[in-house]
């Protein structure tokens, strides 16, 4: 019975509806943006960004509660930690800010809008510019179920020679090459995000 239930829960119609519900959440909610992929492994993210300017946001697995921007620039996958700062304005009120270098923002969607809209490099040193969001095609729950990633603090101790952990990571990268997430529609990647309006205004 439980297996039948799982198949029903993962039927294409159910997944599509679940994804649409996520994308209709408040625009300041990360889950409402298709470029947010949740807790996917670093190697899987690298497999998704194929061309210069491609990008996605994922959870940091080594630093739970933080986020990482993965992008492609100069034919190389690059990862930038989004720095999170809590500003205590007074005893009753705190404000969280997100930033790469100088500019800081009240939310990650605000940060992404700024860097995509202005074509501003993520960092002076890298010169990386993002403009093409890589959108997930399934709800976040499916990505978590597929990769079953646990934060680094909870990982199993690796064998002393250290080969096991590396092999596991490589396998994840290889299996991702044939994953359903690879069937991303490159024609109109902006259809799930707010960038369509933003980009038209900048053309």
Q: How confident is the model at residue 75 (pLDDT cuts 50, 70, 90)?
A: very high
At 181 the pLDDT is: 41
Q: Range with the lowest mean pLDDT among 54-63, 82-91, 138-147, 190-199?
A: 190-199
* Long-range CB contacts (within 8 A, 24+) of 148-154: 149/39, 149/40, 149/41, 149/61, 151/61, 151/62, 151/64, 152/61, 152/62, 153/64
Handedness of CA 139, 143, 146, 152 (dihedral sign): negative
- The pLDDT, as a whole number, for residue 3 is 52
Task: Using alpha carbons, select from 136, 121, 135, 134 the residue that is nearest to residue 73.
Answer: 121
Q: Rounded to 5, what percent of the chain is helix, strand, coil?
A: 40, 20, 40
Element (H, E) at 169: helix 163-177
The percent of residues in the chain predicted with pLDDT above 90, rounded, is 56
- Which residues, at least 6 apart from 191, have a Cβ–Cβ distance to it below 8 Å? 135
Between 62 and 199, name the one with better pLDDT. Answer: 62
Name the band, by pLDDT with cuts 50, 70 and 90, for residue 78.
very high
Q: Is residue 131 classed as helix, strand or coil in its secondary structure?
A: coil
Q: What are phi and psi of 134, to 5 degrees?
A: -95, 110
Give which of 117, 88, 87, 127 is closest to 104, Cα–Cα: 87
Residue 133 above 70 pLDDT?
yes
User: Count of CB atoms within 10 A of residue 107's CB?
Assistant: 15
pLDDT surpasses 50 at 6: yes
For residue range 106-132, what is the model confidence (pLDDT) as tens digits? 999 999 999 999 999 999 999 999 999
- Cβ proximity of 133 and 115 under 8 Å: no
- Model confidence at 155: pLDDT above 80: no
What's the pLDDT score for residue 150?
60
pLDDT mean across residues, the chain:
78
Residue scoring higher pLDDT (83 or 176): 83
Alpha-carbon distance 56 to 130, whole Å?
9
Distances 121 to 53, 70, 118, 130 between C-alpha atoms, Å: 10, 14, 9, 8
Domains recognised in the chain with CATH numbers: 2-202 (3.30.505.10)
């Amino acid at each position: 019975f439980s297996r039948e239930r799982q198949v029903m829960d993962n039927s294409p119609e159910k997944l599509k509806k679940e994804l649409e519900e996520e994308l209709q959440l408040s625009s300041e909610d990360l889950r409402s943006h298709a470029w947010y992929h949740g807790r996917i492994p670093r190697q899987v993210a690298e497999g998704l960004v194929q061309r210069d300017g491609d990008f996605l946001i994922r959870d940091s697995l080594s630093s739970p509660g933080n986020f990482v921007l993965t992008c492609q620039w100069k034919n190389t996958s690059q990862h930038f930690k989004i720095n999170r700062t809590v500003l205590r304005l007074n005893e009753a009120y705190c404000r969280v800010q997100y930033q790469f270098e100088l500019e800081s923002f009240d939310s990650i969607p605000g940060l992404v809008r700024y860097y995509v809209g202005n074509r501003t490099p993520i960092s002076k040193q890298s010169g990386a510019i993002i403009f093409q969001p890589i959108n997930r095609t399934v709800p976040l729950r499916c990505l978590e179920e597929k990769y079953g990633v646990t934060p680094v603090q909870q990982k199993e101790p690796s064998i002393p020679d250290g080969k096991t952990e590396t092999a596991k990571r490589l396998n994840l990268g290889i299996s991702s090459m044939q994953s359903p997430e690879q069937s991303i529609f490159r024609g109109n990647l902006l259809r799930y995000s707010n960038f369509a309006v933003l980009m038209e205004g900048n053309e």
